[in-house]
Amino acid sequence: MSIYRKMLIFTSVIIIVPMAIILFLSNTILDNQINQSAEEYLKEAFVIANNLLSSRMEEMGRLSAGITESADFDRELQNRDKESIYGFLNNTCKVYSYIDFYALYDADKNLIINKPSIRNANAKRLGQLLAESEKSRDAVTSVESFDLEDLFGQGTADYLKFRVYVNDQHEYLKKCLTAVSVYAIRNREGNGVSGYLVMGAILNNSRYLPTAYSDSVPNSYLALSTEGIRVASNIASPESENYIGSPMPVSVTTLEGTNNVYFGKKNFGGEIHIYLDKMITNIDGEDVGTIGVGIPEQKFKLISNTQKRINFFVPLLFLIMILFLLRYVAEKITRPIIKATNLANQISQGNTDVAIGISTLADSNDESIILLRSLKKMADTLKKNKADILEYLKDLEDGREEQQHLSQQLIALNETLEKKVEIRTQDLREAIEGLKKSGQYKSQFLANMSHELRTPLSSIISYSEILKAELFGPLNGKQKKYTDNILESSEQLQQLINSILDTAKIDAGKMTLDIGNYTLSEVIRESLSIVEILAYKKNIDIQNNLLEEDIIVRIDFRKTKQALCNILSNAIKFTPDGGQIKITSSQIGSSIRIVIEDNGIGIKKEDQERIFNEFEQADNSYERQYEGTGLGLPLAKKFVEMQGGTIYLVSEINKGTKVAITLPININHGDFK
């Protein structure tokens, strides 16, 4: 997708989405505002309608006061001069034609005159109003719902004039909505009431109020009702007659629950009206009817639709302008990029002789121009590099022959080297073979030699023992001593040979295990029995701390005993006369541990590891003082390790040595070799 398209889509999304949201919100707000302003408008219209009604009543009050205030009227009232009074009142009513009836009462509330001859029917309500007027210096005004028949008498001209036909009930309404003013006439001394003047304007079928309202609030409707039936209205339409005598859109009970005001919409003959109705109450606060104003909704819709159109078209225009602008900008941006793409294509095809207009290369901070300049630079560099490479290739070609010669020499050298390495490797292999063989020869020799030595040595020992036992006759002191020496030396020699033989056997891998069940105490005791004599000779005390409960161990008895003997004999050998040796045995998990501790000469730290190697002994002075070959400990180590055990040594010079061996309690045949 081209940059231009991308920018177009991106900008459209960026603009259209918020624009749609704003449009939706502004239309919603507009609708709300229209509703609100319609309500405000109706409230104001209602005040006008209400004022018209009030001012009508107040005017009647002012007229009553004006008429009765004159001295003439007072005198005529005193004299009950009905003719003159009629004259006064009729003149006034002629000027103020909306006054439909009046009545004059004396101080005792007896009717003096009335016109037209209103009947006594609503006497009770009138009586209440007369009484009310006494309390006020001004006229008392009230809207009342009088019984039409009781007021004028059935069939009279006024009755016929003011009656309202209720369309859907097919009969006439019995009530008439009436604006009344009652004025208490004060006597001239000012100390009492000399009579009462009542004036009334019937609102049923009245043209005055609706017309006055239409003049003040154009295109607005007014309706007055009593008993839920419209009795006066300015609604003019082909069916205008139907509005007077039609039921109110809202029942009076609905108004009672909503602060006596109802704001709503209603379809009148296909036209939606917004209207506001309010309860009319008389001076005692009793509901007598309603007064309502309304307007066709279309009036406000018109404003709203115009605004909505503006809301839609202005952003649309704006969007179109932006799109054009964008097209221009995108073209401006993409042109150098397209140029750069072409340039890059040419370069990629190997054409480094690219040319750009001089004006394009002029100094500019525009990124696309910078891109073009960079591409040109790159093309130049490539061109130069290409030339360098060609030159380099030529150099390479020149040096190739020499290189070939060198590489041949290298190959020859390499071959010589390989041959030499092969010969040396062969030599080494043979040397290793030789060494291996010589090791085997050594072991074999040692084994053979020891075996050869053991046979004559056994004979020497046997003969020495026979001599010592004096089986061939008694020996003298010297003979006895020599015989003892022979025996002792032979036994030592035998011991040495055995050790060498064992070592050789182990080295040759010919030593095998001979496992059997033994008690731990048995092994230690057997070992002790062999070395006891040596300890006895040096007056060394051996303390054997046996376990309370003896353990049965599966071990190679001879090898374990030999290992223990070697360690014990060392302890005795390297402990001065009168010293002490302690044997402790314990069970640690599935192993046993035997520790042999002496308080002898001890071993230097640096010798402690070395002495486990064959023929190694601690320093020379020991060697001189103590006999031995240095095979005891290495053999002990080998015997223990053959059985899967370990041996270790702790020693301090002049304090003593502690040697510990551990062995698994249950060694299986074949586990170790």
Ligand X SMILES: Nc1ncnc2c1ncn2[C@@H]1O[C@H](COP(=O)(O)OP(=O)(O)OP(=O)(O)O)[C@@H](O)[C@H]1O
Q: Decide which of Mg ion, ligand X, none touches 315; Cβ closer than 5 to 8 Å per partner kind.
A: none
- Asked if 571 interacts with ligand X (CB under 6 A), we say yes
- Other CB atoms within 10 A of residue 328 CB: 10
580/594 Cα distance (integer angstroms): 17
Smaller CB distance to Mg ion: residue 445 or 615?
615
Residues between 471 and 500 that touch ligand X (CB under 6 A): 499
- Asked if 464 interacts with ligand X (CB under 6 A), we say no
| Nearest to 538, CA basis, from 582, 571, 492 | 571
First-residue to last-residue Cα distance in the chain:
82
Stretch of 221-229, 343-351, 543-551, 614-622 lying at the interface with ligand X (CB under 6 A): 614-622
CB contact burial 70-93 (16+ within 10 A = b; e otherwise): eeebbebbeeebeeebeebbeebb
Stretch of 48-56, 396-404, 425-433, 616-624 lying at the interface with ligand X (CB under 6 A): 616-624
DSSP string, 214-231: HHHSTT-EEEEEETTEEE
Bond from prior residue into 116 cis (ω within 30 degrees of 0): yes
Of positions 601, 642, 661, 663, contacts ligand X by CB under 6 A: 601
515-519/140-147 β-pairing:
unpaired
Smaller CB distance to ligand X: residue 364 or 492?
492
Size of the site for ligand X (CB under 6 A): 22
Residues between 634 and 653 that touch ligand X (CB under 6 A): 634
How near is the Cβ of 587 to ligand X at its closest, in Å? 24
Of positions 229, 276, 563, 633, contacts ligand X by CB under 6 A: 633
Smaller CB distance to Mg ion: residue 250 or 618?
618
- Asked if 574 interacts with ligand X (CB under 6 A), we say yes
Q: Decide which of Mg ion, ligand X, none touches 379; Cβ closer than 5 to 8 Å per partner kind.
A: none
How near is the Cβ of 499 to ligand X at its closest, in Å? 6
- Asked if 182 interacts with ligand X (CB under 6 A), we say no
- Asked if 295 interacts with ligand X (CB under 6 A), we say no
522/258 Cα distance (integer angstroms): 117
Smaller CB distance to Mg ion: residue 494 or 521?
494
Q: Please give the DSSP secondary-structure letter assigned to residue 526.
A: H
Smaller CB distance to ligand X: residue 578 or 589?
578
Of positions 61, 195, 210, 628, contacts ligand X by CB under 6 A: 628
219/405 Cα distance (integer angstroms): 117
Write the CA distances from 667 to 48, 333, 357, 469, 550, integer angstroms.
Answer: 123, 91, 97, 43, 17
- Asked if 506 interacts with ligand X (CB under 6 A), we say no
Query: What are the tokens at 270?
Result: 């296909």
457/469 Cα distance (integer angstroms): 18
Of positions 61, 200, 336, 632, contacts Mg ion by CB under 5 A: 632
- Other CB atoms within 10 A of residue 395 CB: 10
Query: What are the tokens at 212?
Result: 């006055």
How near is the Cβ of 448 to Mg ion at its closest, in Å? 25
**H or E segment and range at residue 411:** helix 367-468
| Nearest to 233, CA basis, from 262, 210, 202, 201 | 210
CB-based burial of residue 513 (10 Å sphere; 0-12 exposed, 13-18 middle, 19+ buried)? Answer: buried
Q: Please give the DSSP secondary-structure letter assigned to residue 516.
A: E
How near is the Cβ of 634 to ligand X at its closest, in Å? 6
Smaller CB distance to ligand X: residue 463 or 612?
612
Q: Decide which of ligand X, Mg ion, none touches 49; Cβ closer than 5 to 8 Å per partner kind.
A: none
- Asked if 503 interacts with ligand X (CB under 6 A), we say no
Of positions 522, 617, 644, 666, contacts ligand X by CB under 6 A: 617
Stretch of 134-142, 544-552, 566-574, 596-604 lying at the interface with Mg ion (CB under 5 A): 566-574
Residues between 76 and 135 that touch ligand X (CB under 6 A): none
Query: What are the tokens at 79?
Result: 């004299």
Q: Please give the DSSP secondary-structure letter assigned to residue 295.
A: E
Q: Decide which of ligand X, Mg ion, none touches 591; Cβ closer than 5 to 8 Å per partner kind.
A: none
How near is the Cβ of 564 to ligand X at its closest, in Å? 12
- Asked if 597 interacts with ligand X (CB under 6 A), we say no
Residues between 422 and 481 that touch Mg ion (CB under 5 A): none
How near is the Cβ of 566 to ligand X at its closest, in Å? 6
- Asked if 570 interacts with Mg ion (CB under 5 A), we say yes
Smaller CB distance to ligand X: residue 506 or 603?
603
Smaller CB distance to ligand X: residue 35 or 617?
617
Write down the H helix ranges in 275-366. 297-348
How near is the Cβ of 629 to ligand X at its closest, in Å? 4
- Asked if 630 interacts with ligand X (CB under 6 A), we say yes
Q: Decide which of ligand X, Mg ion, none touches 297; Cβ closer than 5 to 8 Å per partner kind.
A: none
Smaller CB distance to ligand X: residue 222 or 596?
596
Smaller CB distance to ligand X: residue 158 or 598?
598
How near is the Cβ of 632 to ligand X at its closest, in Å? 3
How near is the Cβ of 543 to ligand X at its closest, in Å? 16
| Nearest to 562, CA basis, from 642, 648, 442, 475 | 642
Q: Which residue has the tokens 């041959």?
A: 419
Of positions 61, 632, 645, 664, contacts ligand X by CB under 6 A: 632
Query: What are the tokens at 651?
Result: 């020693």
How near is the Cβ of 515 to ligand X at its closest, in Å? 25
Smaller CB distance to ligand X: residue 563 or 592?
563
- Asked if 602 interacts with Mg ion (CB under 5 A), we say no
- What lies within 8 Å, CB to CB, of 544 at 6+ separation is 524, 525, 528, 583
Own/partner contacts of 187-192, CB < 8 Å, gap of 24 or more, are 187/74, 187/107, 188/71, 188/74, 192/107
- Asked if 202 interacts with ligand X (CB under 6 A), we say no
**H or E segment and range at residue 477:** helix 477-507
Largest CA distance in the chain: 206
Of positions 223, 231, 523, 631, contacts ligand X by CB under 6 A: 631
468/481 Cα distance (integer angstroms): 9
Task: Kindly compute the dihedral angle of the four CA atoms of residues 412, 413, 414, 419, in this order, to the nearest 10 degrees.
Answer: 90
**Cβ contact 3:337 at 8 Å:** yes
Q: Decide which of Mg ion, ligand X, none touches 603; Cβ closer than 5 to 8 Å per partner kind.
A: ligand X
- Other CB atoms within 10 A of residue 320 CB: 10
Q: Decide which of Mg ion, ligand X, none touches 622; Cβ closer than 5 to 8 Å per partner kind.
A: ligand X
- Asked if 580 interacts with ligand X (CB under 6 A), we say no
* Interacting residues toward Mg ion by CB under 5 A: 570, 632
* Interacting residues toward ligand X by CB under 6 A: 499, 566, 570-571, 574, 598, 600-603, 611, 617-618, 622, 628-634, 657
